[in-house]
Amino acid sequence: DGGITQSPKYLFRKEGQNVTLSCEQNLNHDAMYWYRQDPGQGLRLIYYSQIVNDFQKGDIAEGYSVSREKKESFPLTVTSAQKNPTAFYLCASRRQGMETQYFGPGTRLLVL
């Protein structure tokens, strides 16, 4: 069963804590993306990666970090520098040469 998986579904962060959101895809897609969704704000791009070991900042990268050590995986770390982390985080992937981005089910991050 191919697709994009994100875990956990819900994540709680304490003050000053770094947390990592997982995104895995078995679609053999080259490009992967992280978006943040806030109510009434649409989706905003955090980071993206077109190939392994390479990634670029999106529109709202401050307070976040990523890695792309494997084609299948693109984890997102929400650092303590992100002062307003409460949001719904969505991972997406895209095949090289195609335009469609496919989204995972999302992770909801809440601050304790």
Q: Which residues bind another protein (CB under 8 A)?
A: 4, 6, 31, 33, 35, 40-45, 48, 50, 56, 58, 90, 92, 94, 96-106, 108
Minimum Å gap between C-beta 108 and another protein is: 8
Contact between 30 and 71 under an 8 Å Cβ cutoff? The reply is yes
Residues in the chain: 112
Closest to another protein by CB, 58 or 63: 58
Closest to another protein by CB, 17 or 28: 28
Instruction: For residue 54, give Cα distances in angstroms to 8, 62, 72, 74.
Output: 25, 18, 13, 11
